């Protein structure tokens, strides 16, 4: 299933599922990056019943978008990062949820709650604390990722204030940060990619402590990383060398696994939040790959602990999806375990499903 925007696209996000909704609402946010026209964020819903995509609303955004990050605790809040007059900053927006639900036909305006402006003016991503969820009360934490800085911020409960809480600063002459992931198991650890290297920073320390490091993790620059949601210390990385690697960050000498089915840069890698053996990757070769990494998943770890005997499970490519004609810059899992979406630079949103055979192999 595909949906086409009239402008170029780089940013994509999945809206968290609402516990109040009786129906499964699989929704995606797609942001444009155009210099001459007003930019937009399209709210697109996938219907399992009819197997189609519907644009519920179009939100106005004043600048070209680089990333969209919805708040896990409040579906009406989201951060965007964007370029403006050669500077890159971030804003927290309040989204008109009621108007979206009413299927407004006109373009909707968002309320800017606050703006994160840093001395470097190079904010390219914002990470929400992975441990907050719907129903969270009180202040929330985010991390702004800049070219050579990480800054942790405390966001006020109403989303109207931000206070800096911690900072990591790299040498401005060193390789910039190009990938980041906040550890869902240890909220004081944040992984970054800079050049070919991986560093895991301990935010509790005032001395910029590197808790773990993986030098030369890839042959070329890193582009993406994601923590395994179920297995401790496990990190997936993707690079311009066309490889996806999986690491136990405590053992940097060699990856747990390395997969190399992409023919060009890998721009994105994402773990499935329900079944961590499922991983998707996307690249500038226009391909989205679905992987079954069962041998290094939490299921495998549980089997090993229970001393289960039998055949060796193998990590494998489940399927190549060649729906795009241009570079794929982002891929995300939906709030449903079996749905994922990708966007290419030409403005195409593509939604795909985990093949039924693979689904039932996991469930049965």
pLDDT tens sequence across 197-233: 999 999 988 788 999 999 999 999 999 999 999 999 9
Stretch 74-84: mean pLDDT: 93
Structure tokens at 78: 């989201």
Specify the pLDDT at position 22: 56
Extract the tokens encoding 15: 């809206």
Spatial distance between the Cα atoms of 243 and 2, rounded to a whole number of angstroms: 27
Residue 166 confidence (pLDDT)? 80
Q: 245-270 burial, b for 16+ CB within 10 Å, e for fewer?
A: bbbbbeebeebbbebebbeebbbbbb
CA distance 111 to 184: 29
Residue 35's contacts (CB-CB under 8 Å, 6 or more residues apart) are 64
C-alpha distances out from residue 9 to 85, 99, 149, 353, Å? 19, 24, 26, 22
* Strand-strand pairing, 140-145 and 149-155: antiparallel
Is this structure's pTM higher than 0.85? yes
Give the separation between CA 241 and CA 245, rounded to whole angstroms: 11
Provide the 8-state DSSP code for 141.
Answer: E
**In the predicted model, what is the mean pLDDT of residues 168-189?**
96
Residues 27, 50, 10: CA angle, nearest 5 degrees: 35
Place of tokens 């990333």: 67
Those residues whose C-beta lies under 8 Å from the C-beta of residue 67, and which sit 6 or more positions away, are: 11, 13, 31, 79, 80, 81, 124, 125, 126
Collapsed DSSP state (helix, strand, coil) of residue 229: coil
| 356 pLDDT higher than 50 | yes
Burial of 199 (0-12, 13-18, 19+ CB in 10 A): buried
pLDDT-based confidence at 307, cuts 50/70/90? very low
In degrees and rounded to multiples of 5, residue 357 shows phi and psi of: -60, -45
Rg (CA), the chain: 20
**pLDDT at 304 (0 to 100):** 57
By CB neighbour count within 10 A (0-12 exposed, 13-18 middle, 19+ buried), where does 307 fall?
A: exposed
Predicted confidence at residue 308, as pLDDT, reads 46
How many Cβ atoms from other residues are within 10 Å of residue 15's Cβ? 20
pLDDT at residue number 305:
53
| Residue 159 contacts residue 138 (beta carbons within 8 Å) | no
Kindly report, residue by residue over 246-288, the tens digit of the pLDDT.
999 999 999 999 999 999 999 999 999 999 999 999 999 999 9
pLDDT band at residue 312, thresholds of 50, 70 and 90? low
- Residue whose token pair is 């108007």: 99
Cβ neighbors of 87 (< 8 A, separation 6 or more) are 121, 122
186 vs 127: CA distance, rounded Å:
14
Q: Give the Å distances, CA to CA, from 310 to 273, 300, 303, 313.
A: 27, 12, 10, 9
The pLDDT tens digits for 316-330 are 999 999 999 999 999
Residue 11: which of 341, 351, 339, 353 has the closest Cα? 341
CA distances from 8 to 31, 85, 89, 206 (A): 9, 19, 20, 41
């Amino acid at each position: 299933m595909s949906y086409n925007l009239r402008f170029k696209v780089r940013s994509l996000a999945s809206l968290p599922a609402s516990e109040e909704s009786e129906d499964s609402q699989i929704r995606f946010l797609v942001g444009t990056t155009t210099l001459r026209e007003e930019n937009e964020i399209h709210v697109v819903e996938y219907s399992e019943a009819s197997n189609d995509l519907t644009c519920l609303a179009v939100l106005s955004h004043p600048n070209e978008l680089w990333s969209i990050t919805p708040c896990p605790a409040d579906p009406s809040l989201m951060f965007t990062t964007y370029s403006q007059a050669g500077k890159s900053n971030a804003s927290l927006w309040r989204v008109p949820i009621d108007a979206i639900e009413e299927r407004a036909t006109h373009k909707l305006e968002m309320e800017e709650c606050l703006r994160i402006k840093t001395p470097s003016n190079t904010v390219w991503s914002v990470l929400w604390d992975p441990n907050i969820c719907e129903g969270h009360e009180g202040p929330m934490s985010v991390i702004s990722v800049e070219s050579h800085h990480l800054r942790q911020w405390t966001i006020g409960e109403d989303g109207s204030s931000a206070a800096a809480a911690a900072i990591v600063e790299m040498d401005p002459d060193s390789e910039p940060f190009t990938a980041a992931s906040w550890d869902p198991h240890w909220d004081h650890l944040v992984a970054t990619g800079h050049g070919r290297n991986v560093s895991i920073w301990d935010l509790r320390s005032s001395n910029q402590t590197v808790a773990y490091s993986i030098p030369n993790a890839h042959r070329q620059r890193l582009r993406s990383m994601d923590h395994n949601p179920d297995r401790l210390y496990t990190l997936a990385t993707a690079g311009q060398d066309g490889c996806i690697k999986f690491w136990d960050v405590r053992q940097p000498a060699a990856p747990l696994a390395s997969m190399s089915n992409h023919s060009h840069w890998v721009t994105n890698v994402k773990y499935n939040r329900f079944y961590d053996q499922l991983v998707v990757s996307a690249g500038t070769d226009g391909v989205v790959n679905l992987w079954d990494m069962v041998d290094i998943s939490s299921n495998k770890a549980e089997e090993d602990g229970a001393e289960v005997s039998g055949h060796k499970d193998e990590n494998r490519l489940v399927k190549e999806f060649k729906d795009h004609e241009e570079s794929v810059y982002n891929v995300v899992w939906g709030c449903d375990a079996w749905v994922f979406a990708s966007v290419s630079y030409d403005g195409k949103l593509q939604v795909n499903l985990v093949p039924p055979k693979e689904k039932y192999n996991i469930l049965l």
